[in-house]
Amino acid sequence: MMAAEGRKRRRIASWVLLLLLSLPSICVAYRPGDIVPMSKKGQYHSSRTLWQDMIAKHCPIFGVNREVLVPIAKPTGYTGADPYKISFQVGREKFQIPWLFVINRKSSEVPMIDVHLVRIVLLLI
C-alpha cells in the first residue's frame, strides 16, 4: 500500500515538474503583432562581418503578412568579382538561415527572400 502511494506521489511530482519546465516556453512564445528580432551577417572575399542587430522597422512582425526592405551596405573593397553572401538569425531562439547569395558573378540583381514564421502549438494529452 505504501509502495502504491509512493508511486502516485512520484507520478504527480513528475507531472508538476513537466508543467513547470514547459511554462518558460509558453511565456516566450510570439503572439500576433510581436516584433521578431533579427540579426544579419555578411561575407565577401572570405571575410565576414559580426552579427548586427536589425532595427524594428526591418524586422518581421509575427502574424502580419508584410514586406520589409533590408538595407545592405556595400562591403569594403567591393568590386563585383566575388559573390556577396548574407545570413540571418531570426528570433530569440537564434534560428539561423544559411548563407544566401545576394550578389554573385552571374547576376547583379538582389533576390527577394521570403520567410514564413509559423506558430506551432503542442498539446500534451
Task: Kindly state the cell numbers that stand for 27.
Answer: 511565456
pTM: predicted TM-score of the whole model, two decimal places: 0.63
pLDDT in tens, 42-90: 998 888 889 999 999 998 888 888 888 888 888 888 887 788 888 889 8
CB 87 within 8 A of CB 98: yes
CA distance 87 to 97: 6
Is the pLDDT at 115 greater than 90? The verdict is no
Query: What's the confidence (pLDDT) of residue 56?
Result: 92
CA quadruple 71, 72, 73, 77: dihedral, nearest 10: -170
Helix ranges, the chain (H): 2-27
Type of residue numbered 68: V
CA distance 83 to 90: 23
CB neighbours of residue 38 within 10 Å: 23
